[in-house]
Amino acid sequence: MRIVMAGASGFLGSRLTERLRQSGHDIVRLVRRPSEQPDEASWDPAQGRLDAVVLAGADAVINLAGANVGDRRWTTAYKRVLRSSRLNTTDTLARTISKLPAGDRPGTFLQGSGVGWYGDTGDQAVTEDASAGNTFLADLCRVWEAAARPAEDAGTRVVLLRTAPTIDAGGALLKPLLLPFKLGAGARIGGGRQWMAWIALADWLAAAEFLLGREDVAGPVNMVSPNPVTNAEFTRDLAKAVRRPALLSVPGPVLDVALGELAGEAQRSQRVLPGVLSSTGFAWAYPEMSSALAVALRPEPAMTG
């Protein structure tokens, strides 16, 4: 396949690019500067600029662009960044796809989204048919997904990747936790009863490639493990993986002071299940948190000279 990807330099995008190239696909990376390599194409999503020639004849377009949700406090200004970084890229790609002649139009558009769509589900398990929640992230996901509609209306198969936090040592979830857990300062959040949707990095990559080839799948797809865990279970498993105790608890008010509005998301319960992936026969390599952590924290192989 010839695949055009936005967000190819990000955590998921760079790893998916590597995997797809190993599978023999031709990846064109969209960059926001003058292109310097044969596999790059320049665009300016903030201004809605993308030469339609870049997408013409592509088999698929993948959009994983967007500012990181957990990078900093959600000030009013950063909320605008979170929104614009998603809507500008998605709108530019979807509208460019929609304007192409049918014979040149990509057949598939894998569009990033998140399990934030569901808001707080409490103890209720939800799949892709659940409506959006009423939180900031839920509203962000709602408008983000809606921005892809012009491509869908034009006849392109649009798959909305509602991604959960990925389990990998370099990912946004584990990276900031590893040092305190290794120092024995790991802690659950509040009572730890809130549910957490998650997916091993290897399974996310495999699922994305799987969906590229499944022409019968369209619409939202929960990119999650079939086994969500509570925060207390996650804390226990991570502590066990690094061979340290985790006896502490961080009260919600402390998080509120430290993180502001972002703390509310950290305390939400999201018992999200992979309805579509399960029904289409996708096989997870690491469906349990313990096995996902074991792989994520496995030492790098030693270099030999």
Q: What is the pLDDT of residue 260?
A: 55
- Could you tell me which residue, 157 or 246, shows the higher pLDDT? 157
Between CA 90 and CA 13, with CA 265 as vertex, the angle to 5 degrees is 35
Report pLDDT digits (tens) over 3-16: 999 999 999 999 99
Between CA 106 and CA 221, with CA 55 as vertex, the angle to 5 degrees is 45
CATH placement of domain 2-171+197-226+269-285 = 3.40.50.720
Judge whether 156 and 109 are in contact, CB under 8 Å.
yes
The domain spans of the chain are 2-171+197-226+269-285
Q: Is the pLDDT of residue 301 over 80?
A: no
Judge whether 232 and 193 are in contact, CB under 8 Å.
yes
Report pLDDT digits (tens) over 40-83: 999 999 999 999 999 999 999 999 999 998 777 888 999 999 99
Report pLDDT digits (tens) over 187-240: 888 889 999 999 999 999 999 999 999 999 999 999 999 999 999 999 999 999
The Cα–Cα gap between 166 and 14 comes to: 14
pTM above 0.85, yes or no: yes
Judge whether 17 and 29 are in contact, CB under 8 Å.
yes
Question: pLDDT band at residue 18, thresholds of 50, 70 and 90?
Answer: very high
Question: pLDDT band at residue 253, thresholds of 50, 70 and 90?
Answer: low
Q: Is the pLDDT of residue 255 over 60?
A: no
Judge whether 196 and 258 are in contact, CB under 8 Å.
no
Question: pLDDT band at residue 39, thresholds of 50, 70 and 90?
Answer: very high
The Cα–Cα gap between 229 and 190 comes to: 15
Q: What is the pLDDT of residue 72?
A: 78
Mean per-residue pLDDT over the chain, rounded = 92
